[in-house]
Amino acid sequence: MKIISKIHDIIWTSDFMSVRFTTALASLFWGIFLLWPADTFLAQPEIYRLMGQVATEHIWGLAFLIHAFFGFYALLKDKTTVCAFSCDLLLGTLLWTTSTFCCLLSFWQINIPYIPPATMAADIGITISLWWRMIKYIVKERLLKNGT
């Protein structure tokens, strides 16, 4: 019972500060690496093929940098404005979900039978944590509006 109680506390009462910082930092590196003066998508086409079909490398890089900026901004201001929510949580969830699924599907198309890429573990973890943050935020906002 003590383990379940601890997991409940982590999920519902944690402020996720370290997760938010790590996500913003990861987005910063994604952005920098995708804007690096080299063609990442062409250098590793089997991994980034689907991402390249969604948008160019530079658009992905700028989007990740925008997410990193607003992620750090929301952390430093320690509040969630509508803009910070939209650019941090919504944009982050969209970017990480789309890029993670694009990479996983690209791997799936070249590996029959499918062998999940171990290098995607952190991306999957960040994606799940962003979805959980969004669900938690929405649930808390609804509870506050209902006065419970």
* pLDDT value for 57: 94
Mean pLDDT of 69-76: 90
How do residues 86-114 score in pLDDT, each as one tens digit? 778 899 999 999 999 998 888 776 666 77
Continuous segment of H or E residues that includes residue 95: helix 91-110
Distance CA 43, CA 48 (A): 9
How do residues 104-147 score in pLDDT, each as one tens digit? 888 776 666 777 778 889 999 999 999 998 888 888 777 667 76
Split at pLDDT 50, 70, 90, the class of 39 is: confident
Distance CA 108, CA 84 (A): 34
Decide if pLDDT at 17 tops 80. Answer: yes
Q: Which of these, 17, 103, 27, 99, lies nearest to 65 by C-alpha position? A: 27
* pLDDT value for 1: 67
Contact 58, 37 (CB under 8 A): no
Contact 117, 107 (CB under 8 A): yes
pTM of the model: 0.84
Structure tokens at 66: 């925008």
Instruction: Collect all residues with Cβ–Cβ distance below 8 Å to 117 and sequence separation of at least 6.
Output: 103, 104, 107
Mean pLDDT of 52-63: 95
Instruction: Collect all residues with Cβ–Cβ distance below 8 Å to 49 and sequence separation of at least 6.
Output: 41, 106, 109
Distance CA 20, CA 73 (A): 11
Which phi and psi angles does 119 have, rounded to 5°?
-65, -10
* pLDDT value for 4: 81
